[in-house]
């Protein structure tokens, strides 16, 4: 009977000990899911035994739950250790595994399997305790029940909570990070035995985590067949589709693999919050995400980059070999990819990988999870990765050169080039752009300007591409723009019909630059970053256009003045009555002067106070930093400073500056037409409008609403330039006082 009991204690029921559940199942076929994990143990002594004393029955009934727990745990462990399913899953992560998963009840989980292993460990302790008890019983001439009770007493505190745990796991289908989370929480308990059990289980769980971390941070591979890692790939299907479509030609594939690498970096992976154990801080998770992505990038340089590098290396090699005879060099050239593994090695040397692995191994082996040491390890791994990535991006990929090039072209630092371009395209830009050919039309002056000002000196120029967004390939992204431009063009045309002054405002403002960056710089110059650059560029080029028109107009007026005098003299010589036109309408000079002043000061402000200042800051950072993440954030800061300090994000200011630019252009074009078709009333209108705008610009710059904002210092800087001799202020005040003579207004302004 004692053996019957012992057997029951290791999960086997019989006549003596029965499972109530079985009973119930035979009685009613209830399919209540909770009954899988009954809250109360279901092992009971068979009720019909009469030879057992009630006191003994009591003792036995108290022991029996252990057997029940054992059985359930064992069952759980066996289920999740289901080796074949795991093996399969490991080898065919996507296809077969899913089927297998479906076959085996519930979804497979590596973590659960690890827990199961842990449970087996615990159970084996229990089993050996039972064995011990059996031996004790056998050796004892007078076996008593108390021996059993005594031997298995300590499991009373251990097994029920573990059972509760697995019950919860099964019930709520807890997997991955959540599982760790749960275990971690359970570790906090006051019972030493139980705590050590849970810690052991957690340790098992962490083994999996560390393995995943290692594959992620050492090899950049996501080894996570069941979606349990807290870093996950996004949009599986999209990327796969993309690559499957592009299998057609090799070239395309390289391209798409490049793209895939890029998307990998940008959006390919993300932190899956659900699987993130709560005790791992978000920052740490991000660091892990970054490190993995960095390693991924370092481990998989794209084809073109590899090719480039290896050819470069071979150049060196060949150069060296040329002295000895060039046959060897040819052989090398035939296999350009030969050296590629070496390059990947260069990018991320094995020693570094080993170091990371070692760090993780150290963590893996410690029996307890120390948050502090874990975090510090992750951080140092992250630093290592960031360093290597930095080296790749900054040194190998010549980040600084590209930054400079972006400044040259997007921030118009190569002023002569753009001046030449705008000059060349001036006639073209006076007409509304023809939708079909605008880009091609502009290409001519663009190339010409490049030829004249840049020549072969600038190796970055070939990366710059001119676009009129609605027309080029970028169709998809700018359908909206197209619509807008159509409207614009229409309006321009209609205006042209009405006023015949030939201004069309202005489809050309959509001029865009594209900058093609090679791997791995896409990591740095993300489309988002480039679009910010583009925004600034479009603003600056409009400013430049306006400035140039104003200057042209100035030069024209200067010439007119000379010519007028010459005419005057000739007339006088010919003794005509002195009907001289010497005096040009002075107000034109004045209005133009105000316009020029405003535009130029805005330019000076943006160039000196904003671009150059920020650029110096960025340079200083680039020089001192050797951490990729840091660099990215500096660069982000640089860009957003450019945008915010040139007021592109303050609607009121940028709108007014916009309309001022428009007015300036209209003014210039009108003046130009003046000789042929003097249209004073329109000029007058423009002048009036301009004065109004410039006054309201003053009001806005001074307004108390913006005074409190972060940008106040920059607004003040700009205002200081505009209002250097207080003229701006005086006129604005004068007008304001006339227009709305509110008593307290001046004091406010």
Partner 1 sequence: MPREIITIQVGQCGNQIGMEFWKQLCVEHGIGPDGLLEDFATQARFHGGDRKDVFFYQADDQHYIPRALLMDLEPRVINQIQNGEYRNLYNHENIFLSDHGGGAGNNWASGYHQGEQVVDDIMDMVDREADGSDSLEGFVLCHSIAGGTGSGQERTGMGSYLLETLNDRYSKKLVQTYSVFPNQMETSDVVVQPYNSLLTLKRLTLNADCVVVLDNTALNRIAVERLHLANPTFKETNSLVSTVMSASTTTLRYPGYMNNDLVGLLASLIPTPRCHFLMTGYTPLTVERQVNVIRKTTVLDVMRRLLQTKNIMVSSYARTKEASQAKYISILNIIQGEVDPTQVHESLQRIRERKLVNFIEWGPASIQVALSRKSPYVQTTHRVSGLMLANHTSIRHLFSRCLGQYEKLRKKQAFLDNYRKFPMFADNDLSEFDESREIIESLVDEYKACESPDYIKWGMENSEKAMTSEGSLAGSLDSKLTL
Binders in 575-594 for partner 1, by CB under 8 A: 579-591, 593-594
Q: Which CB sits closer to partner 1, 257 or 614?
A: 614
The correct pick among 596, 625, 644, 699 for binding partner 1 (CB under 8 A) is 596
C-alpha to C-alpha distance for 382 and 388, rounded to whole angstroms:
10
Residue in the structure block whose two tokens are 């481990």: 299
Residue 420 lies near partner 1 (rule: CB under 8 A): yes
Examine residue 612 and tell whether it contacts partner 1 (CB under 8 A). Answer: yes
Q: Applying CB under 8 A, does 597 fall inside the site for partner 1? A: yes
Min dist. Cβ of residue 426 to partner 1 (A): 12
The least distance separating partner 1 from the CB of residue 684, rounded to whole angstroms, comes to 6
Cα separations (Å) of 486 from 106, 399, 474, 492, 538?
57, 39, 16, 10, 19
Binders of partner 1 among 703-722, rule CB under 8 A? 717, 720-722
Give me the least distance between CB of 368 and partner 1, in Å please. Answer: 52
Burial 566-591, CB ≥16 within 10 A → b, else e: eebeeeeeeeeeeeeeeeeeeebeeb
Q: Which is nearer to partner 1, 245 or 739 (CB)?
A: 739
Min separation Cβ 632 and partner 1, Å: 24
**Whole-number minimum distance, CB 528 to partner 1, in Å?**
25
Of these, 550, 618, 665, 697, which contacts partner 1 (CB under 8 A)? 550
Which one of 136, 304, 613, 626 is in contact with partner 1 (CB under 8 A)? Answer: 613
Q: List the one residue from 236, 565, 640, 748 that touches partner 1 (CB under 8 A).
A: 565
**Pair type for strands 17-19 and 43-45:** antiparallel
CB 257 within 8 A of CB 244: no
323 binds partner 1 (CB under 8 A): no
580 or 711: whose CB is closer to partner 1? 580
Strand pairing class (43-45; 512-515): unpaired
Which tokens go with 329? 């060099």
Q: Are strands 512-515 and 464-467 parallel, antiparallel or unpaired?
A: antiparallel
Q: Per-residue DSSP letters for 294-348?
A: HHHHHH---HHHHHHHHHHHHHHHHHHHHTT-SHHHHHHHH-TTTTHHHHHHHHS
Q: Does 724 bind partner 1 (CB under 8 A)?
A: yes
Instruction: Please identify, using beta-carbon distances, which residue of 188 and 586 lies nearer to partner 1.
Output: 586
Closest to 607 (Cα-Cα) out of 411, 462, 424, 340? 411
* Min separation Cβ 569 and partner 1, Å: 9
Binding range to partner 1, per CB under 8 A, among 20-28, 52-60, 701-709, 727-735: 727-735
The CA dihedral of 439, 435, 422, 655, to the nearest 10 degrees, is -120
Maximum Cα–Cα distance across the chain = 153
- The radius of gyration of the chain's CA atoms, rounded to the nearest angstrom, is 39
Closer Cβ to partner 1, 103 or 684, answer by number? 684
Residues 638-697 that bind partner 1 (CB under 8 A): 680, 683-684, 687-688, 691
Task: Pick the binder of partner 1 from 76, 205, 728, 736 (CB under 8 A).
Answer: 728
Choose the binding region for partner 1 from 203-211, 415-423, 638-646, 699-707 (rule: CB under 8 A).
415-423
- Interface residue with partner 1 among 607, 629, 645, 673 (CB under 8 A) is 607
CB of 686 to partner 1, least distance (A): 11
Using the rule CB under 8 A, give the single segment among 313-321, 545-553, 642-650, 659-667 that binds partner 1: 545-553
Interface with partner 1, residue 611, by CB under 8 A: yes
Q: Mark the segment that binds partner 1 (CB under 8 A) among 193-201, 213-221, 239-247, 445-453.
A: 445-453
Nearer to partner 1, 276 or 412 (CB): 412
Nearer to partner 1, 139 or 726 (CB): 726
Q: Answer yes or no: are the C-beta atoms of 297 and 265 closer than 8 Å.
A: yes
**Cα–Cα distances in angstroms (integers) from residue 165 to residues 72, 169, 179, 185, 569, in the given order:** 11, 6, 10, 11, 107
- Using an 8 Å Cβ cutoff, are 599 and 661 in contact? yes
Minimal distance in Å, beta carbon 415 to partner 1?
5
Contacts (CB under 8 A) with partner 1, residues 99-118: none
Q: How remote is the C-alpha of 68 from its chain's centroid?
A: 51
* Contact with partner 1 (CB under 8 A) among 241, 494, 616, 640: 616
Structure-token match 């130009």, residue found: 672
User: Residue 416 and residue 327: Cα distance in Å, rounded?
Assistant: 47
Residue 558 within binding range of partner 1, rule CB under 8 A: yes
- Based on the shown chain and the rule CB under 8 A, indicate whether residue 414 belongs to the binding site for partner 1: yes
Closer residue to partner 1 (CB): 350 or 681 = 681
Contact 546, 599 (CB under 8 A): yes
User: 330 or 727: whose CB is closer to partner 1?
Assistant: 727
Sketch the per residue contact string, 185 through 214, with partner 1: x for CB under 8 A, - otherwise. Answer: ------------------------------
To partner 1, the closest distance from the beta carbon of 610 in angstroms equals 9
Is the CB of 212 or the CB of 695 nearer to partner 1? 695
Q: Is residue 40 within 8 Å of 47, Cβ to Cβ?
A: no
Smallest separation, CB 680 to partner 1 (Å): 6
For residue 488, the Cα-to-chain-centroid distance in whole angstroms is 35
Site string for partner 1, 336-365 (x = CB under 8 A): ------------------------------
Q: Does 444 bind partner 1 (CB under 8 A)?
A: no
Q: Closest separation between CB of residue 723 and partner 1, Å?
A: 8
Q: Which long-range contacts (CB under 8 A, 24 or more apart) does 373-380 make?
A: 374/280, 374/284, 375/281, 375/284, 378/284, 378/287, 378/288, 378/291, 379/284, 379/287
Site size toward partner 1, by CB under 8 A? 76
Interface residue with partner 1 among 237, 334, 562, 705 (CB under 8 A) is 562
Query: Is the CB of 312 or the CB of 727 nearer to partner 1?
Result: 727
Query: Residue 107 or 692: which CB sits closer to partner 1?
Result: 692
Q: How far apart are CA 421 and CA 443, in angstroms?
A: 10
How deeply is 662 buried, as exposed, middle or buried, from its count of CB atoms within 10 A (0-12, 13-18, 19+)?
Answer: buried
Long-range CB pairs of 645-652 (<8 Å, 24+ gap) are 645/606, 645/609, 645/610, 645/614, 645/711, 645/714, 646/536, 646/539, 646/606, 646/610, 647/711, 647/714, 647/715, 647/718, 648/535, 648/536, 648/539, 650/706, 650/711, 652/700, 652/706
CA 608 to CA 692: how far, in whole Å? 28
């Amino acid at each position: 009977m004692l053996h019957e009991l012992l057997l029951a204690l290791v999960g086997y029921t019989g006549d003596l000990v029965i499972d109530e559940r079985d009973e119930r199942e035979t009685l009613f076929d209830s399919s209540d899911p909770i009954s899988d994990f009954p809250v109360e143990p279901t092992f009971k002594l068979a009720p019909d035994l009469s030879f057992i004393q009630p006191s003994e029955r009591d003792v036995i009934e108290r022991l029996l739950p252990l057997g029940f727990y054992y059985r359930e745990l064992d069952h759980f462990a066996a289920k999740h250790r289901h080796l074949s399913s795991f093996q399969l899953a490991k080898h065919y992560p996507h296809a077969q595994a899913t089927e297998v998963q479906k076959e085996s009840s519930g979804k497979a989980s590596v973590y659960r399997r690890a827990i199961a292993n842990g449970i087996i460990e615990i159970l084996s302790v229990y089993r050996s305790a039972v064995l011990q008890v059996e031996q004790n019983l056998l050796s004892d001439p007078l076996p008593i029940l108390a021996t059993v009770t005594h031997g298995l007493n300590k499991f009373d505190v251990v097994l029920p909570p573990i059972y509760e745990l697995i019950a919860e796991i099964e019930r709520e289908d807890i997997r991955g990070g959540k599982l760790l989370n749960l275990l971690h929480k359970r570790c906090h308990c006051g019972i030493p035995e139980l705590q050590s059990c849970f810690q052991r289980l957690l340790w098992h769980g962490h083994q999996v985590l560390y393995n995943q971390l290692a594959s992620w941070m050492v090899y950049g591979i996501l080894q996570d067949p069941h979606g349990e890692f807290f870093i996950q790939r996004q949009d599986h299907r999209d990327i796969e589709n993309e690559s499957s479509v592009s299998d057609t030609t090799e070239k395309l594939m390289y391209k798409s693999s490049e793209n895939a690498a890029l998307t990998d970096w940008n959006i390919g992976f993300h932190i899956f919050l659900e699987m993130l154990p709560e005790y791992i801080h978000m920052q740490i998770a991000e660091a892990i995400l970054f490190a993995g992505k960095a390693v991924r990038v370092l481990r998989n340089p794209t084809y073109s980059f590899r090719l480039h590098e290896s050819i470069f290396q071979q150049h060196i090699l060949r150069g060296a070999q040329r002295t000895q005879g060039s046959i060897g060099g040819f052989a090398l050239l035939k296999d350009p990819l030969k050296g590629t593994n070496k390059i990947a090695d260069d990018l991320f040397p094995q020693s570094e990988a080993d170091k990371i692995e070692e760090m993780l191994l150290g963590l893996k082996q410690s029996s307890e999870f120390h948050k502090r040491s874990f975090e510090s390890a992750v951080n140092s791994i992250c630093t290592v990765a960031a360093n290597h990535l930095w080296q790749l991006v900054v040194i190998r990929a010549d980040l600084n050169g590209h930054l400079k090039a972006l400044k040259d072209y997007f921030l118009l630092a190569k002023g002569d080039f753009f001046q030449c371009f705008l000059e060349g395209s001036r006639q073209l830009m006076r007409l509304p752009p023809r939708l079909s050919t605008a880009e091609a039309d502009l290409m001519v002056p663009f190339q010409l300007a490049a030829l004249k000002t840049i020549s072969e000196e600038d190796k970055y120029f070939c990366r710059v591409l001119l676009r009129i967004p609605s027309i080029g390939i970028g169709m998809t992204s700018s359908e909206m723009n197209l619509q807008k431009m159509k409207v614009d063009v229409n309006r321009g045309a209609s205006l042209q019909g009405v006023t015949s002054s030939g201004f069309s405002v202005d489809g050309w403002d959509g001029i865009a630059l594209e900058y093609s960056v090679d791997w791995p710089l896409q990591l740095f110059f993300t489309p988002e970053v480039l679009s910010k650059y583009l925004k600034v560029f479009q603003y600056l080029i409009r400013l430049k256009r306006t400035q140039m028109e104003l200057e042209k107009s100035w030069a024209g007026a200067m010439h007119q003045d000379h010519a007028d005098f010459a005419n005057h003299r000739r007339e006088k010589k010919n003794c005509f009555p002195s009907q001289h036109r010497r005096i040009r309408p002075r107000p034109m000079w004045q209005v133009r002067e105000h316009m020029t002043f405003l535009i130029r000061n805005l330019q000076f402000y943006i160039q000196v106070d904003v671009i150059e200042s920020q650029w110096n800051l960025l340079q200083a950072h680039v020089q001192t930093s050797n951490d990729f993440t840091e660099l990215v954030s500096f660069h982000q800061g640089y860009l957003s400073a450019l945008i915010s300090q040139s007021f592109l994000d303050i609607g009121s200011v940028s709108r007014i500056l916009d309309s001022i630019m428009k007015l300036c252009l209209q003014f210039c074009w009108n003046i130009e037409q003046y000789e042929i078709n003097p249209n004073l009333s329109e000029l007058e209108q423009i002048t009036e409008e301009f004065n109004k705008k410039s006054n309201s610009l003053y009001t806005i710059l001074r307004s108390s609403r913006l005074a409190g904002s972060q940008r106040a210092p920059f607004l003040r800087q700009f205002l200081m330039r505009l209002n250097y001799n207080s003229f701006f202020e005086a006129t604005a005040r004068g007008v304001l006082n006339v227009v709305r003579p509110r008593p307290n207004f001046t004091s406010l302004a």
